[in-house]
Amino acid sequence: MEKPEILKIKQRFGIIGNTESLSRAIDIAMQVAPTDLSVLITGESGVGKEVMPQIIHQFSARKHGTYIAVNCGAIPEGTIDSELFGHEKGSFTGAYESRKGYFEVANGGTIFLDEVAELPLSTQVRLLRVLETGEFIRVGSSKVIKTNVRVIAATNVDVPSAIQHGKFREDLYYRLNSVPIGIPPLRHRKEDIPLLLRKFAVDFAERNRMPAINLTEDATQMLMNYRWPGNIRQLKNIAEQISILEEKRLITSEVLRTYLPDHFDTKLPALYEGIDQKTFATEREILYKVLFDMRNDMNELKKLVHENLQKSPVESDHHQQAPHVIPKYVHDVEPILSDEKPMRKFDITRDTLEDIQDTQEITEESLSLSDKEIEMIRKALEKHNGKRKHAAGELGISERTLYRKIKEYNIE
Ligand SMILES: Nc1ncnc2c1ncn2[C@@H]1O[C@H](COP(=O)(O)OP(=O)(O)O)[C@@H](O)[C@H]1O
Ligand SMILES: [Mg+2]
C-alpha cells in the first residue's frame, strides 16, 4: 500500500504512475526536503526529473523563498558565470551595468541546476566553492559575497564516466550527490504507460476542445512493449501528434506503429527528443491547433461546396447563391485561437470559389509538416544566432539530426 502522503504529492504535482520505484523517489524527495542537503537527480532524458526539485523546495522551510531553475545546458559558456554569480559593471564588453546572479537572487531559497554536467569546468570550481562555503565572487569583482542557497541538480549524463573523461570534477560530484535520487526510465515502468497516455490524450483534448483518442487492446500492448528512448516526454509528444494528425479517435496498432521507432524520421518532424522550453511547446501546440482547425475548415468547406453544387444544378444559380452562404460560414469558423495568434481569414470570392474544387491540393499544401518543420528550424536558428547546438537543443533534436535536416531542406 502506498503511503497516503505520497499519493497526495502525486495529485498535487500531477505525477502519474504507480510504479514502486517512482514512489520511492518521491519518498526520498520528501524526506530530504526539510534538510539543507544537496540533491542530485539522475535519470534518462524525459523521465520526469524536473518535478523533483519543486517537491523538495515546496516541502522545505525555504518554500516562501525564491526558487530558480537554471538550464545549464541552454546558457552559453561565455555568460554562465555571470548568470549564476553576477558581474560588475565593465567586467566584460557589454557589461554596462552590474548585475546580480542567481546565487545572489535566490538567497534564502533554492536553485535547481538542470543539466548540471553541461557546466564548464571553471564554473564547476565556482559552484563547488559556493556549496562548501556559501561564498562566491561576482565576475570582475574581488569582493566575497555570502549566500544561503540550497542546491538541487539534475543530469541525464553518466557522471562517473564524465569524471573519467575529465568533463566533471569528482569533488563537485561528491558534494552534489549528498542525496541521490534516481528516476527510472519508462520502459521499467510499463504498467504506467497506458495511464500516462490516457492523461496526455485527455489533457490535450480538453485544451484543444476535441474528443480524446483511445487505443485498441493491441495498440495498448504495442505501446507498453515499445522501448521509449525519449521516455515520458516522447510518449507525451506522440500522444499529442496522434491526437492532432489522426482523424479517427480509436487508434489501432497499425496506426500507432507509424508513430513509433523508425517511421518517425520519415513521417514526422523529430520533435520528441528533448523539448524543455515551455515557450516552444506552446508554439508547437498552437501549430497543431491551427493545423487541426484548418483541416476541419477545409472538410466543412468541401462539404458546403458539395452541398451547394447539389442544390443548384444550374451553373449560374450556384454562382449567385454561394456568396451569401460562404460569408456566413467564414464568420462561423473564426478560429478560437484569435487572442493568441490572429489567423488569416479565408478570403473567399467568386474567383477562388471556382478553384475550390481542387481542395485536395489546397489541403495538402497548407498541412505540409515539412514546411512547418523548416519554419521551426529557421526560427530556432534565428533565435540562437545560427548556433546549431543551441537551436538543436531548443528543437529537442540532436545536432546531427538538425544538420541533416538543414542539408535536406537546404536551409541557409
Ligand atoms: N509521472 C509523470 N506524470 C505525468 N507527467 C509526467 C511525469 N513525468 C514526466 N512527465 C512529463 O513529461 C515531460 C518530461 O518531463 P521532464 O521532467 O521535463 O523530464 P526530464 O527528466 O528530461 O527533465 C514533462 O512534460 C513532464 O510534465
Ligand atoms: Mg529536463
Per-residue model confidence (pLDDT) at position 38: 97
pLDDT at 344 over 50: no
Lowest mean pLDDT among 186-200, 215-229, 301-315, 386-400: 301-315
Residue-averaged pLDDT of the chain: 83
Per-residue model confidence (pLDDT) at position 74: 95
Q: Quick one: which atom of ligand 1 is closest to the CA of 236?
A: 12
Q: Per-residue pLDDT averaged across 309-329, rounded?
A: 49
Q: Per-residue pLDDT averaged across 172-190, rounded?
A: 95
41 pocket-lining for ligand 1 (C-beta < 6 Å)? no
Per-residue model confidence (pLDDT) at position 371: 80
Nearest Cα residue to atom 17 of ligand 1: 48
Per-residue model confidence (pLDDT) at position 349: 40
- Which one has a higher pLDDT value, 118 or 405? 118
User: Where does the pLDDT of residue 159 fall: very low under 50, low under 70, confident under 90, or very high at 90 and above?
Assistant: very high
- Which one has a higher pLDDT value, 30 or 290? 30
Rounded distance from Cα 275 to ligand 1 centre (Å): 11
Q: Per-residue pLDDT averaged across 218-240, rounded?
A: 96
pLDDT at 59 over 50: yes
- 243-259: pLDDT as tens digits: 999 999 999 999 999 99
pLDDT at 54 over 60: yes
Nearest Cα residue to atom 8 of ligand 1: 48
Rounded distance from Cα 356 to ligand 1 centre (Å): 44
pLDDT at 160 over 90: yes
Lowest mean pLDDT among 135-144, 272-281, 322-331: 322-331
Lowest mean pLDDT among 19-28, 62-71, 86-95, 338-347: 338-347
Per-residue model confidence (pLDDT) at position 179: 94
Alpha-carbon distances, residue 219 vs 146, 210, 241, 249 (angstroms) = 56, 21, 16, 13
Tally the C-alpha atoms within 13 A of residue 270's C-alpha that lie toward its C-beta.
23
Per-residue model confidence (pLDDT) at position 114: 97
pLDDT at 270 over 70: no
> 3-state secondary structure string, the chain?
CCCHHHHHHHHHHCCCCCCHHHHHHHHHHHHHCCCCCCEEEECCCCCCCCHHHHHHHHCCCCCCCCEEEEEHHHCCHHHHHHHHHCECCCCCCCCCCCECCHHHHCCCCEEEEECHHHCCHHHHHHHHHHHHHCEEECECCCCEEECCCEEEEEECCCHHHHHHCCCCCHHHHHHHCCEEEECCCHHHCHHHHHHHHHHHHHHHHHHCCCCCCEECHHHHHHHHHCCCCCHHHHHHHHHHHHHHHCCCCEECHHHHHCCCCCHHHHHCCCCCCCCCCHHHHHHHHHHHHHHHHHHHHHHHHHHHHHHHHHHCCCHHHHHHHHHHHHHHHHHHCCCHHHHCCCCCCCCCCHHHHHHHHHHHHHHHHHCCHHHHHHHHHHHHHHHCCCCHHHHHHHHCCCHHHHHHHHHHHCCC
Nearest Cα residue to atom 15 of ligand 1: 48
User: Where does the pLDDT of residue 40 fall: very low under 50, low under 70, confident under 90, or very high at 90 and above?
Assistant: very high
Q: Per-residue pLDDT averaged across 348-367, rounded?
A: 42
Per-residue model confidence (pLDDT) at position 303: 81
Nearest Cα residue to atom 25 of ligand 1: 233
- Which one has a higher pLDDT value, 405 or 252? 252
Distance in angstroms between the alpha carbons of the first and the last residue of the chain: 57
49 pocket-lining for ligand 1 (C-beta < 6 Å)? yes
pLDDT at 181 over 50: yes
